[in-house]
Every structure is written in structure tokens, then in C-alpha cells.
Amino acid sequence: MKARVHVMLKNGVLDPQGEAVRHALGQLGFEGVEGVRQGKVIELDLAETDADKARETVTEMCEKLLANTVIESYAVEIA
């Protein structure tokens, strides 16, 4: 079973990498980009075959390691 975790900074948290990308896009001539938020995607290959158990396990992984829940939010996809 595969799991995909999308991790993003929470709204209101300064995103210096996103701002650097927005600035660079402007320098390259891409006008009209008013904001950029940068995140990460983590893909996991799991031995678990039960989707509910897999979601529970991946959520625990996010809470303990994969996301800094003070400043980041995450979404889990199970396939």
C-alpha cells in the first residue's frame, strides 16, 4: 500500500523559501505571481494492507516525525 503525505506551512507562518521562489519568478519575467507557498511531499511504501490502519499509522508518523505540527499542517492520502 502506498501513502502520500503533503506537508505545508500553516497560514500565517512566514515562508522565506516561497518568497524567494516568487521573487525569482518575477526576475525571470513571470509576472502576476502574488504569492508562493512551498511544501514537501513524502511518499511511503507500506506493508499494511488495511487502509484505515495505514492512515492511522501514517498519521502517527506525521505527528512524531514527518511534520512539525506547531508550524506545519499535513494531509495523508492512502492508495
For position 53, which CATH number holds? 3.30.1280.10
3-class DSSP state of 75? strand
Name the phi and psi angles at 42, rounded to 5.
-120, 125
Q: How many domains does the chain contain in total?
A: 1
Domain that holds residue 32: 2-78
- What is the tens place of the pLDDT at every residue in 29-78? 999 999 999 999 999 999 999 999 999 999 999 999 999 999 999 999 99
pTM value > 0.85? yes
